[in-house]
Amino acid sequence: MQEIERTANTSINPVAALRAIWQMPGVTVARLMLESYFRSGWMWVEFVLVLVFFAALFFPFMENVSYFYGTSNWDLSAIAVLGGAIMVRHSTGARTYVLLARLSSRAAYSRGLMLAAAVLRVPIFLFMLLLVLLTHRLINPTVDTMLIGAIGLLPGTMLVSVLTVTLSPPVATRLMRILFLCWVALVLFSISPIFAVPATFTDILGIVRVPLWPIAACYNVSIAGTIGLPGVLGFLLEGVYVVGLALIAGYWLERRELLLY
3-state SS, one letter per residue, for the chain: CHHHHHHHHHHCCHHHHHHHHHCCHHHHHHHHHHHHHHHHCHHHHHHHHHHHHHHHHHCCCCECHHHHHHHHHHHHHHHHHHHHHHHHHHCCCCCHHHHHHHCCCCHHHHHHHHHHHHHCHHHHHHHHHHHHHHCCCECCCCHHHHHHHHHHHHHHHHHHHHHHHHHCCCCCCHHHHHHHHHHHHHHHHHHCCCCCCCHHHHHHHHHHHHHHHHHHHHHHHHHHCCCCHHHHHHHHHHHHHHHHHHHHHHHHHHHCCHHHC
Give the lowest-confidence range in 39-43, 112-116, 201-205.
201-205
d(CA 68, CA 137): 9
Range of the domain at 240: 24-260
| Tally of structural domains, the chain | 1
Predicted confidence at residue 8, as pLDDT, reads 46
Strand partners, 63: 138
Q: Tell me, yes or no, whether 8 lies in a domain.
A: no
Residue 39 lies in a domain: yes
Is residue 242 scored above 60 in pLDDT? yes
Q: Which tops the pLDDT comparison, 54 or 259?
A: 54
Report if residue 183 sits inside a domain: yes
The pTM of this model reads 0.88
Q: What is the pLDDT of residue 253?
A: 84
- In degrees, rounded to 5, the angle at the alpha carbon of residue 59 between the alpha carbons of residues 55 and 61 is 155
Is the predicted pLDDT of residue 260 greater than 60, yes or no? no
Instruction: Examine residue 90 and state whether it is found in any structural domain, yes or no.
Output: yes
Instruction: Give pLDDT tens digits for 54-68.
Output: 999 998 888 999 999
In a domain, 1, yes or no: no
User: Is residue 16 assigned to a domain?
Assistant: no
The answer to whether residue 29 scores a pLDDT higher than 90 is no
Q: What percent of the chain has pLDDT over 70?
A: 89
In a domain, 211, yes or no: yes
Q: Of the candidates 87, 83, 60, 55, which has an alpha carbon nearest to the alpha carbon of residue 71? A: 55
Q: What is the pLDDT of residues 181-224, one digit of tens each?
A: 999 999 999 888 887 778 787 888 889 999 999 999 999 999 99
C-alpha torsion angle, residues 121, 157, 151, 136 (rounded to 10): 70
| Residue 5: inside a domain | no
